Homo-oligomer: A and B are copies of this chain.
Amino acid sequence: MSERIARAALSRLSEPGDTRLSSLVGQLGAVKVYDLLREEEDVAGVYTDVAARLRGLDPERELEEAAAKGIRLICPEDAEWPGCLRDLDSVEPLQGRGGAPLGLWARGLLPLDEACRSSAAVVGSRSATSYGTSVASDIAAALAGNRMAVVSGAAFGIDQAAHRGALAMKGRTVAVLACGVDRPYPSAHKNLLDYIVDVGLVVSELPPGCSPTKLRFLSRNRVIAALTQGTVVVEAAVRSGALNTANWALRLNRQVMGVPGPVTSAPSEGVHQLIRYRDAALVTKGADVLELLSPSGSFLTEEARGADRPRDQLTEREQRVLDAVPVFHGVTNDSIARTAGLPAGEVLEALERLRSKHLVENADRRWRLVRD
């Protein structure tokens, strides 16, 4: 029996994120663990859990049927297995879930490792505002336009907007599901998922046919965080799966980023907490994300500042003279000197420099401002 067949079997037997199983497989190999379970040996309490599911299991047939539907099982032995998933084996579980996936079932021709080499998760609330979806789409489009894959969960709201933003740029996007990759979930996203399969990748730890459960969503979030170099949370209420993904990203030492919103908007509250209490980086646009995730110095955003104006180049003393020149009625050099509190000789020199910059004008030895 091959490692792939054993992993297909184990992924059907167990729930994703079962750290007992992933650590057993790490120690003994998938074939050995599957053999022990088939011999009804109870290793680490796993057998008693999976006994009911063992009956009638036929992983070889499952792999064939999956292949017929264009679904492959990506295993750690495969060239396209992303090395970054290994990080999941070296961090503590969160809410009882953890460990690297036993394998990832995938639909779509894009190799997974290639998709993840430069990638960011863009996640957030299902009940997003139009502000949130619009910002998520813009950020995803900017990432995709810079050859960065956008990874998300295909849910309503922010996830959908993130995938769509990437697709609009004909960029790469990866949907990580909490159910079988042959199940459109949510069903309203069937077209979206089909489109992602065409140009990107839909992956899941769960074998084809499985339905999503609360725990499977939590397990799925760790995969989203692990596959990417960083996680951007766009809107997230205080209780939100997106914050769970962010917590995984923090645990994995990935960059965590948050897009702020109005402090009066509940869907932004979780993001603000993430920035305030978890030191997430505040990002406002795709370029900020690219800067944080790209190798040092390879993508730099400039801190925005207004255009320079002639007034900006003045010395402090020239500024004082300029402040003392009236708008309407011209006044003499001495009057300006008195107002500015500067010597008359210096004021005259400054006025000449200000005239050459077209800031003041002079008529009959009286000075006034040039009006914009």
Contact = CB atoms under 8 A, between A and B. Distances in A.
Please tell me how many copies of the chain the complex holds: 2
Given A264-B131, A272-B284, A341-B13, A316 B95 contact: yes
Contacts of A305: 238-239
B342 A49 contact: yes
B277 A303 contact: yes
B261 A323 contact: no
Interface string A190-217: 0000000000000000000000011110
Contact of A260 (B48, B97, B282, B323): B282
A238 B316 CA distance: 21
> What range describes how many residues of A lie at the interface?
35 or more
A28 interface: no
A170 interface: no
A342 B54 CA distance: 11
Given A15-B341, A263-B284, A305-B238, A214 B334 contact: no
A359 interface: no
Contacts of A49: 341-343
B282 A276 contact: yes
A348 interface: no
Given A52-B334, A214-B323, A135 B263 contact: yes
A338 B54 CA distance: 9
A319 B52 contact: no
Interface centre among A50, A316, A346 (most CB of B within 10 A): A316
A8 interface: no
A237 B14 CA distance: 54
A14 B263 contact: no
A223 interface: no
A194 B342 CA distance: 34
A361 interface: no
Contact of A273 (B14, B15, B50, B303): B303
Interface string A92-120: 00011100000000000000000000000
Given A213-B323, A215-B323, 5 more contacts: A50-B341, A52-B344, A237-B306, A260-B263, A263-B284
Interface of A: 13-15, 48-53, 95-97, 131, 134-135, 213-216, 237-239, 259-264, 268-269, 272-273, 275-277, 281-285, 288, 303-306, 315-316, 319-320, 323-324, 334, 337-338, 341-344, 346
